[in-house]
């Protein structure tokens, strides 16, 4: 019974199926709103779902120079790690899985999602993929530092000198003391996390690794059919996970009592966060160069996160 | 289980890959005009893809010069099934004003299978949209034929 419940958690509710559906829904909202911002009608909200199923029905070509096992295994490894991350993110009152160091586990599993892209791209043997993965690595290095600082400041704020890395503890703290976004020492950290989300998901100003018009989607260039569909799904799932992480770290504390209501409010809040940090920034900016991206994250965003950390450490 | 959904999706999300085989750039501009807010091809799910591996519909413009012929054939061979080929303008169909030139090898039908041909010099964006939409419907038929 316990195993069955665990499987349901991994495969359906907050795991793979839920994350994938919400992610595709958020990606659809993103495309629709951007179209409206550009005075277009835009694709229907279920367009990413059509894209995914179309790619599932296409022929999957493995290039002659590629290592077949790594080439096809990378998107699946990314999918599994991202499905597991969602187990650790509480949906307001509901947590599927909670330990003492959830934040660290989330950090590592999110990295696996990015590493899958790098490994898959490098196994394809295309020079465009080579440029793409080198950029992806630099992007990961640039946003990991402020990301860790943000997580540290949240842990310090919630747990005091013992540092709370448990998502459950963070959710309980917010239920008792109100959302962390409304305590002013956490506002710089919240802004920093909002700026990290587009880089993690690979959206417009920070999509140097997958620059479509420049290096033809970089690591994904040789992918086709189902494997490409999995990577597109991974991107959508990352959208759900990152906005969900923001929601539970900074906007937690809502308790309706039933899981279904919690999940609906959770998805709605995720959609709002997507509109703020992904869609709006995407619509008003052009792509950065990789060195500018690196500089931006290590100065502005890290600075914001560090400011929050110092404020929290001083006990504010 | 998802067979029906996959078949339906085949016509709902056609990604384009554009090959210029010596075109004068007129048709290329009109193709881009289809994606602008005025015609907004994205409302049918059309999207320009950067790599032939991602494409469903290959759009050819230009009279197929001797230099571009082999590259054209090779690029189309890299597109995964089901795929459609659409030609834009009179050049790929007949050679248009370049007919008879020593370096022009039109019509393109001699080298690749063409599903939809949009004539005109240059065709209007409305005509291109109709051609692309017809190709999207053909994609669905090809997808259904794949699992028969």
Mean pLDDT, rounded, for B81-91: 89
pLDDT given at position B57? 92
Contact at CB, A223 and B53, closer than 8 angstroms: yes
Mean pLDDT, rounded, for B78-87: 89
Contact at CB, B45 and A43, closer than 8 angstroms: yes
- Cis omega (within 30 of 0) on the bond before A2? no
Quick one: tokens of A309?
Answer: 């950390």
pLDDT given at position A12? 76
Contact at CB, A217 and B54, closer than 8 angstroms: yes
Give me chain B's average pLDDT, please. 88
Dihedral angle computed from the Cα positions of residues A63, A69, A74 and A77, in that order, rounded to the nearest 10 degrees:
160
What are the helix (H) ranges across B15-124?
26-35, 66-77, 91-94
Contact at CB, A224 and B80, closer than 8 angstroms: yes
Q: Which residue has the higher pLDDT, B126 or A7?
A: B126
Contact with chain B for residue A65, Cβ under 8 A: no
- Non-local (6+) Cβ contacts of A29 within 8 A are A45, A271, A274, A275, A279
The boundaries of the domain holding residue B134 are 11-142
pLDDT given at position B59? 92
* CATH value at residue B132: 3.40.50.12280
pLDDT given at position A284? 87
- Per the domain annotation, does B109 fall within a domain? yes
Name the band, by pLDDT with cuts 50, 70 and 90, for residue B85. Answer: very high
- Per the domain annotation, does B85 fall within a domain? yes
Contact at CB, A40 and B5, closer than 8 angstroms: no
Tens digit of pLDDT at every position of chain A (316 positions): 788 877 877 777 777 888 888 899 999 999 999 999 888 888 998 899 999 988 888 888 888 887 888 888 899 999 988 888 888 888 876 777 777 788 888 888 888 888 888 888 888 878 888 888 888 889 988 998 899 999 888 888 887 777 777 777 777 778 777 777 778 888 888 899 989 998 888 887 888 877 777 787 778 888 888 889 999 999 999 888 989 888 888 887 777 777 788 788 888 888 888 888 888 888 888 888 888 888 999 999 999 999 988 888 887 7
Contact with chain A for residue B7, Cβ under 8 A: yes
pLDDT-wise least confident of A110-114, B55-59, B84-88:
A110-114
Contact at CB, B6 and A54, closer than 8 angstroms: yes
Residue B42 has pLDDT above 70, yes or no: yes
- Per the domain annotation, does B130 fall within a domain? yes
- Per the domain annotation, does B4 fall within a domain? no
- Per the domain annotation, does B46 fall within a domain? yes
Of A40, A41, A50, the CB nearest to B9: A50
- Per the domain annotation, does B3 fall within a domain? no
- Per the domain annotation, does B2 fall within a domain? no
Residue B148 has pLDDT above 70, yes or no: no
Contact with chain A for residue B43, Cβ under 8 A: yes
Name the band, by pLDDT with cuts 50, 70 and 90, for residue B134. Answer: very high
| Domain count of the fold of chain B | 1
CA distance B88 to B29: 11
- Cis omega (within 30 of 0) on the bond before B82? yes
Chain A residues with CB-CB distance to B81 below 8 A: 58-59
CB < 8 Å from A in window 8-37 of B: 8-10, 12-13, 37
Contact at CB, A57 and B10, closer than 8 angstroms: yes
Which residues are registered as beta bridge partners of B17? B58
Chain B residues with CB-CB distance to A43 below 8 A: 42-45
pLDDT given at position A313? 83
ipTM, 2 decimals? 0.88
Chain B residues with CB-CB distance to A220 below 8 A: 51, 54
- Per the domain annotation, does B5 fall within a domain? no
């Amino acid at each position: 019974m316990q195993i069955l419940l665990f499987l349901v958690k991994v495969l359906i509710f907050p795991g793979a199926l839920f994350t994938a559906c919400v992610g595709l829904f958020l990606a659809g909202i993103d495309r629709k709103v951007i179209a409206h911002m550009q005075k277009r009608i835009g694709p229907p909200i279920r367009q990413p779902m059509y894209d995914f199923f179309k790619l599932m029905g296409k022929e999957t070509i493995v290039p002659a120079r590629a290592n077949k096992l790594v080439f096809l295994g990378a998107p699946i490894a990314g999918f599994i790690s991202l499905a597991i991350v969602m187990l650790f993110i509480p949906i307001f009152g509901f947590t599927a899985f909670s330990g003492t160091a959830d934040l660290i586990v989330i950090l590592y599993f999110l990295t696996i999602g990015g590493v899958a892209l790098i490994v898959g791209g490098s196994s394809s043997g295309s020079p465009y993929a080579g440029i793409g993965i080198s950029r992806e690595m630099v992007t990961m290095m640039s946003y990991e530092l402020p990301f860790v600082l943000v997580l540290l400041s949240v842990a310090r704020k919630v747990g005091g000198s013992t540092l709370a890395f448990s998502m459950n503890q963070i959710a309980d703290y917010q239920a008792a003391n109100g959302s962390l976004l409304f305590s002013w020492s956490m506002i710089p950290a919240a802004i920093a996390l909002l700026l990290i989300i587009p880089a993690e998901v690979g959206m417009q100003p920070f999509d140097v690794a997958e620059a479509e018009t420049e290096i033809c989607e970089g690591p994904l260039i040789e992918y086709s059919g189902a494997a490409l569909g999995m990577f597109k799904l991974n991107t959508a799932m990352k959208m759900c996970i990152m906005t969900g992480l923001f929601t539970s770290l900074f906007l937690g504390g809502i308790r309706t009592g039933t899981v279904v209501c919690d999940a609906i409010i959770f998805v709605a809040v995720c959609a709002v966060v997507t509109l703020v940090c992904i869609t709006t920034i995407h619509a008003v900016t052009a792509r950065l160069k990789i060195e500018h991206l690196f500089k931006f994250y290590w100065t502005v965003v890290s600075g914001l996160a560090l400011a929050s950390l110092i404020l929290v450490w001083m006990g504010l | 289980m998802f067979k029906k959904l996959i078949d339906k999706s085949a016509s709902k999300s056609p990604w384009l890959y554009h090959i210029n085989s010596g075109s004068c750039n007129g048709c290329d501009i009109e193709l881009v005009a289809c994606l602008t807010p005025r015609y907004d091809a994205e409302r049918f799910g059309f999207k320009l893809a950067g790599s032939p591996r991602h494409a469903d519909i290959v759009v050819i413009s230009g009279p197929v010069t001797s230099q571009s012929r082999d590259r054209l054939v090779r690029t189309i061979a890299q597109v995964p099934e089901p795929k459609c080929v659409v030609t834009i303008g009179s050049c790929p169909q007949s050679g248009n004003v370049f007919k008879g030139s020593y370096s022009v090898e039109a019509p393109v039908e001699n080298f690749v299978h063409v599903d939809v041909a949009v004539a005109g010099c240059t065709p209007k964006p409305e005509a291109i949209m109709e051609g692309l939409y017809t190709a999207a419907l053909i994609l669905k038929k090809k997808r259904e034929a794949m699992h028969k």
